[in-house]
Structure 1
């Protein structure tokens, strides 16, 4: 199959879930093209980007490069298409495209210059990219069956900015929707998505990259968090819980990997609670570096919350990685996380923003060392059975093939006789 990945940033260090799908498709013999807006502003790049020569497969549609050439191209196309847009079929719908003309012409420029545009499958990650891809399909600039993956941000912040009907055109199209959790599937259906074209498909990890290495508590509690420094990650609640543990007499080492806009706020919480000797902020690390650091950790903490603007998680891949390594994971009853973590079976959950609950669970974990082996084994088993990227990629190909077959059969059934 010819598969187009329609995404925002590439390569992006934190989006290993997309990278795993791309490399999985290539390993299975499929022809992959990547259509992205821009590169991430990060000097660190996942090793699979070079291993699979992915930069040779990327086309960027963002407004980089020769601005004069792009403007001349834009003007020439506008003159050519304006009468058709204004007076052709569906003119009212087409007029709306004028408002988006700069970004649409950027898409066309890349498709035209690089002679790409026809695929078996177009896999758009995040709802807004699905909307853009559908617009290009409607204009006839892109051909292929569209599948749109919904992760979480696209179900909250995008709708607040663009209105609750922002996906109506996508819902009315033949696009198949692939929410990453039952939580987001139900949200899509409430918005008006067709349940028959809405299929839950989890993101996953390559378990071979995560050595099973559970650790047992011995004098010091070692805790790790990996997250962007944004409100929905709830890191401030993790810091305050660690502060309470220290006040109770526990020896704690807390490592946080990541960066983001709330870095100054987190450093302030650390300073105000005298945590400088206990907490280390290490910045961004590659997946391989994180796995190495995680080996020595006992507990992985991600106290996710619904942010004030309504932003929420999907199912954090970091938690899958930790569970695959046999770590004791602690998180919250938030979004699709309970679909991964079964409380007290393969990890622990508390309510959002519940600092006392976090402290209580962490103390319980330390006092219940006899349960650690069972929890760690169950965690690895859960990830292997439901979030194994190799199994998921095979299932994704099956979804593609089934939908393409059903679509072809529908076309034959409704084809008019000559």
Structure 2
């Protein structure tokens, strides 16, 4: 297993390197910040590191010199060059910058002249820095500017963008949204002109969209991320030593909005109530003297310690020391408030039980969170009594391990810096609403699915490929089993095949994994715009490519393969299969499932990915399968057709019994082959001669011949048997093909069929595994040409309007575009 992990990491490294080469030629982002490095803004460094790890080129532009005496070790890992854009104080220097920009920036003079009336409303120093940033951006070949905070950095980026023509985006945090100094009109203009606007909590998102509804579509939520490997989870120590002081940590700048004065008062009350504690507060700031005096005034010098600023490594040590972390934030008198403190996320990631106030974004991670349960204790901001009660309650919590595991799971799902980097890259390079011109890598690493074969799964793959191409995409196929029945319209498709040669089941599983890894490497080398993978047991191709390159990925799940493999075949490494599934689901930009039961199965496998799991049923090619002429009343006897593989779960045995029980002499044509064929032939041979002559086993036909078989029939039948509830997940292709052919359909009321067929309008539903009911329904339709015509017309309309593959693939695309 260790060797396998090393091999996977090597593959990802190689793919990332290739992706970096590609993106170097395509894009380069300039980060605009007020101060760099800034000790309290670890989220900026984490974000840049994550984007560099994805292969992006970054440059950093700082507008003020740093005054921090200490720096986080993570800074040494940042590769991006840093340019200081000085605040000019002499008019001559400003005009020199303008002259330089005119020489460097194409079209600068015209843009500057056109913008001058509005530039006059900015601070002169901001315009000057924007002019210089415009020139620096052109010299550095930047393709995008991204500012953190909508105040100074955002305004300077806006000016530089106007003068250079390079688009900009901005991340809005809290002070730049809620502080009393925020100019609403100026902020609105910043948002209007931005390519997109990121904000770091849902609270912020809703506030901004309410205030600027005309720009709501470009304002998006993207939580700040953590490098999760630097914050390993550790379960809380339980039980506590009797009488030992509570170890409480708090971290943040010593400013009003952090609420540390409230925490000090709460500790004094706990002491008076007989609860001993030791509190360590890491951070420095303007209230340091005032807080120290507050501690002394209440006689807490032995209990509350102001540690000063600490590096991230030292903060990690503090969190490991603590029994609980407290973020007692308040809204300051000037409206300033915390956004979503990074250190709170770090505490949750490391397994430190946490308390937070209900300010801005903190209720999104602490409290009872939908899909996760209780992740920590939430208290009203500024309420000392509530904070005291919460500290007591957390100290006595009956299951801190469960609480912290839930918190960790939430952080893993929503705050992974790698996922954040991928999202930010996609915001800069969004997928268009249309598939036209998009390079799609379609992956099928299931050795049981010959892409160019005659199985239903093969037809499914072919139709998705056709629809992608019909909608304008450039498609390349990556598979482990090509197949020999290549349709003429797909003969020109570019195919990369990595064959699986192992026969033994255990070795075969390993061989498929190896083949899928090789496919992933080939996909990465082709630099697609998106990866589309048909889920299979042993492939992580989508997750490997997406993680390494940042391109989005669509995972298509057609059935609960793990359950199927265990029940109907052999499954040697179920734990490995489940790990593969979870990885694919967690990384996929979107997962599309053919039915609600399949989607529920996927959500249970990866609950944290639930919001990205969608139900989009199968479709049919309404151009390939033409409607039968509903006006033609065929001569007797009426022909009933079944199309499908001869397997137990298709219910053909029940259909044969229905023939023997029928009152009218309609004919049955069975199109397909499979492992049940001999048994079914034996069953039919036991019928009286007149009944036997009404049954034709036509054998398997190529997918291109199916329309002809349907066109020769009067009624189509899908006699699925009763099931135990676990196998009602299917989204049967044959039903959609029957609808497209305009045939009246008789089908079992089982699985997803009742959600597809409108009983009495587009089909007739009968109880499953009931040959008498099936015979009666077929007799009724055989005797009623007018009813057959009505059902036929309605079936075709439903297929065209709701189930055409182009419409289905368009819906799939919209889950990511």
TM-score w.r.t. the length of structure 1 is 0.87
The 3 A distance-change label for structure 1 pair 393 and 114 is: closer
1:132 aligns with 2:153: no
Q: CA–CA distance in 2 between the matches of 1:109 and 1:91?
A: 16
Maintained 8 Å contact 2:169/2:194: no
Maintained 8 Å contact 1:9/1:36: yes
1:91 to partner: Cα distance: 6.5
Residue pairs, 1:217-256, within 5 angstroms: 217-218=240-241, 219-256=244-281
The 3 A distance-change label for structure 1 pair 151 and 402 is: same
1:339 to partner: Cα distance: 0.7
The 3 A distance-change label for structure 1 pair 241 and 256 is: same
Maintained 8 Å contact 2:130/2:157: no
Maintained 8 Å contact 1:59/1:110: no
1:24 aligns with 2:53: no
Residue pairs, 1:97-116, within 5 angstroms: 97-98=119-120, 100-109=123-132, 111-112=134-135, 116=139
The 3 A distance-change label for structure 1 pair 171 and 246 is: same
1:313 to partner: Cα distance: 1.1
1:110 to partner: Cα distance: 5.2
Deviations 1:5-64 (A, max 9, x none): 11111111211111111111111111110111123211211212222344xx11111337
1:116 to partner: Cα distance: 2.9
Q: CA–CA distance in 1 between the matches of 2:150 and 2:285?
A: 23
Q: CA–CA distance in 1 between the matches of 2:401 and 2:223?
A: 26
Q: CA–CA distance in 2 between the matches of 1:276 and 1:185?
A: 41
Maintained 8 Å contact 1:215/1:297: no
Greater Cα shift, 167-176 or 264-273: 167-176
Deviations 1:284-328 (A, max 9, x none): 010011101221111001111011111111111100000011111
Q: Which residue of 1 aligns with 2:736?
A: none
1:74 to partner: Cα distance: 2.0
Q: 2:226 aligns with which of 192, 198, 205?
A: 205
Q: CA–CA distance in 1 between the matches of 2:53 and 2:99?
A: 44
1:115 to partner: Cα distance: 5.4
SS of match in other structure, 2:198 = strand
SS of match in other structure, 2:430 = helix
Deviations 1:141-186 (A, max 9, x none): 351x3221110010022xx335321223223325211111111111
Q: CA–CA distance in 1 between the matches of 2:112 and 2:43?
A: 38
Q: Aligned pair count?
A: 393
Q: CA–CA distance in 2 between the matches of 1:81 and 1:39?
A: 23
Higher Cα Rg, which structure:
2
Residue pairs, 1:320-331, within 5 angstroms: 320-331=345-356
Maintained 8 Å contact 1:223/1:298: yes
Q: CA–CA distance in 2 between the matches of 1:122 and 1:406?
A: 24
Maintained 8 Å contact 1:328/1:372: yes
The 3 A distance-change label for structure 1 pair 92 and 402 is: closer
Q: CA–CA distance in 1 between the matches of 2:415 and 2:99?
A: 50
1:175 aligns with 2:195: yes
Q: CA–CA distance in 1 between the matches of 2:94 and 2:433?
A: 38
Greater Cα shift, 160-169 or 218-227: 160-169
1:187 aligns with 2:212: no
Q: Which residue of 1 aligns with 2:654?
A: none
Q: Which residue of 1 aligns with 2:409?
A: 381
Q: CA–CA distance in 2 between the matches of 1:81 and 1:401?
A: 27
Q: 2:183 aligns with which of 141, 154, 163?
A: 163
Maintained 8 Å contact 1:60/1:110: no
Q: CA–CA distance in 2 between the matches of 1:77 and 1:326?
A: 51
The 3 A distance-change label for structure 1 pair 340 and 177 is: same
TM-score w.r.t. the length of structure 2 is 0.46
Q: 1:149 aligns with which of 171, 188, 191?
A: 171
1:345 aligns with 2:380: no
Maintained 8 Å contact 2:101/2:132: no
Q: Which runs of 5+ in 2 are unaligned?
A: 1-26, 103-108, 437-817
Q: CA–CA distance in 2 between the matches of 1:75 and 1:123?
A: 26
1:233 to partner: Cα distance: 0.5
1:61 aligns with 2:81: no
The 3 A distance-change label for structure 1 pair 350 and 171 is: same
Residue pairs, 1:362-401, within 5 angstroms: 362-368=391-397, 370-401=398-429
SS of match in other structure, 1:402 = coil
Q: Which residue of 2 aligns with 1:286?
A: 311
Q: CA–CA distance in 1 between the matches of 2:288 and 2:186?
A: 32
Q: CA–CA distance in 2 between the matches of 1:43 and 1:284?
A: 10
Q: CA–CA distance in 2 between the matches of 1:220 and 1:90?
A: 64
Higher relative contact order (CA 8 A, sep 6+): 1
For the aligned residues, what is the CA RMSD? 2.7
SS of match in other structure, 1:304 = coil
Deviations 1:227-249 (A, max 9, x none): 10111100011111111111111
Maintained 8 Å contact 2:32/2:145: yes
1:117 to partner: Cα distance: 5.8
Q: Which residue of 1 aligns with 2:386?
A: 357
Q: CA–CA distance in 2 between the matches of 1:81 and 1:25?
A: 29
Greater Cα shift, 236-245 or 183-192: 183-192
Q: CA–CA distance in 2 between the matches of 1:174 and 1:111?
A: 16
1:203 to partner: Cα distance: 0.4
1:108 to partner: Cα distance: 2.8
Greater Cα shift, 182-191 or 97-106: 97-106
